[in-house]
Amino acid sequence: MRKIVITTALALGVLATQSLAFDMGSMLKSAAPAVAQSVAPQTTATLQNNTLVNSLSSSLGVTQTQAIGGSAVLLNSAKSKMDPAQFSTLTQKTPGFGDILNSGAASSLIGNTTPQSQFQALGMDGSMVKQFAPIIAEYAKGYVSPEIATALLSAISF
């Protein structure tokens, strides 16, 4: 009888511990829908037809929400690293960059300090930053001077 009581107590203790365990993976994956909800519907429609977003989605196998959010993270990072005049030219001349920055996608990730942790909050591996950067820079290269495209790539390469 004593063995049954001890076994039952241990089993209940394990179950209670497991049910209260903090699941970081689930929490990070749940952040992606919050980002999707923060993107205005009209902006989402515009961005879903954006060549960059479609290119990131198809070549890297990410969702459009992840492509928008990841681009916003990197563009916001570039904003603080690039010459303001160059960044302004970049966002004005490159189709979709202004929409991506105004989408609010990255503002939901403010508590995350590094681009890698922001990508993880979007449900992607942090190493995806290195895969996004050259695609974004190549896209911009078609619309801005080589000097600005080079400055962008330098600002978003981690």
pLDDT at position 108: 60
Residues 6+ apart with CB under 8 A from 13: none
pLDDT, tens digit (0-9, with 9 covering 90-100), for 40-73: 444 455 676 789 999 999 999 999 999 999 999 9
Instruction: Inform me whether the pLDDT recorded for 3 exceeds 80.
Output: no
What are the structure tokens assigned to 96, written together?
């979709």
Beta-strand (E) ranges in 78-154?
none
pLDDT at position 129: 95
d(CA 92, CA 39): 20
Instruction: Inform me whether the pLDDT recorded for 24 exceeds 60.
Output: no
pLDDT at position 154: 96
45 vs 91: which has the higher pLDDT: 91
Q: Between the CA of residue 69 and those of 42, 55, 90, 114, what are the distances in Å? A: 16, 14, 18, 14
